[in-house]
């Protein structure tokens, strides 16, 4: 007598093998979905960022980039004096430095991101003339008072972006 297909589906050995294949594919599928989510996810409405197109500029030249924080002031500061991002929330996040008031020296105000203040709706390109400052390495920050008085550094890496200002 031949075993029916219903009997073979009930075979525990066959079921274990099929489950093992599904379980083995799960981590790969989860990893793929995570990558896709990060690639296609929009920034949160209140998240503002700052990215640069120019990383080497002469005094009097133009620093170009974009931000989605309309109306916020943009500053440069010598890299050696720049505040750093830090670990926060019990080591589960990286936070931007905060200040009690808008930055003064050694920060140098370049201007404000175009657009109505505190609108986070779209990327706004900016172009700021570099004033007379010493040549060297600098960091670029946007000051966001509504974000807890944060100094948000350009770039997505932990150490941010460095620009070179030439004479």
Residue pointed to by tokens 């080591």? 91
Q: End-to-end alpha-carbon separation of the chain, Å?
A: 93
Choose between 96 and 43: higher pLDDT. 96
DSSP of 106-139, one letter per residue? T-EEEEE-SSSTT--SS-EEEEEE--S--SEEEE
Comparing CA positions, the residue from 144, 29, 36, 43 lying closest to residue 98 is 144
- Domain ranges for the chain, please list them: 5-40, 50-166
Q: pLDDT tens across 24-59, in order?
A: 666 665 555 554 444 443 333 457 889 999 999 999
Does residue 16 have a pLDDT over 60? no
Query: For position 118, what pLDDT does the model report?
Result: 66
Q: How far apart are CA 41 and CA 44, in angstroms?
A: 9
Query: Which contiguous run of DSSP H or E holds residue 76?
Result: strand 73-78
Q: pLDDT tens across 121-163, in order?
A: 678 999 999 999 999 999 999 999 998 999 999 988 878 899 9
Query: For position 117, what pLDDT does the model report?
Result: 75
Choose between 117 and 33: higher pLDDT. 117
Q: pLDDT tens across 51-88, in order?
A: 999 999 999 999 999 999 889 999 999 999 999 988 88
DSSP of 57-73, one letter per residue? EETTSEEEEEESSTT-E
Q: Which two tokens stand for residue 115?
A: 């657009």
Query: For position 94, what pLDDT does the model report?
Result: 86
Topology of domain 50-166, per CATH?
Immunoglobulin-like (2.60.40)
Choose between 59 and 18: higher pLDDT. 59
């Amino acid at each position: 007598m031949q075993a029916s297909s219903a009997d073979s589906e009930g075979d525990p050995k066959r079921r274990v093998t099929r489950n093992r294949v599904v379980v083995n594919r799960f981590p790969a599928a989860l990893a793929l979905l995570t990558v896709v989510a990060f690639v296609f996810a929009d920034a949160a409405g209140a998240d503002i960022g700052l990215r640069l197109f120019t990383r080497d500029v002469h005094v009097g030249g133009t620093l170009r980039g974009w931000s989605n924080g309309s109306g916020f002031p943009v500053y440069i500061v010598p890299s050696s004096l720049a505040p750093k991002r830090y670990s926060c929330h019990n080591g589960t996040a990286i936070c931007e430095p905060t200040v009690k008031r808008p930055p003064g020296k050694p920060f140098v105000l370049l201007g404000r991101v175009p657009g109505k203040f505190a609108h986070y709706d779209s990327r706004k390109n900016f172009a700021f003339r570099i004033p007379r400052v010493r040549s060297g390495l600098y960091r670029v920050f946007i000051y966001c008072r509504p974000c807890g008085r944060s100094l948000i550094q350009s770039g997505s890496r932990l150490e941010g972006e460095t620009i070179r200002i030439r004479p």
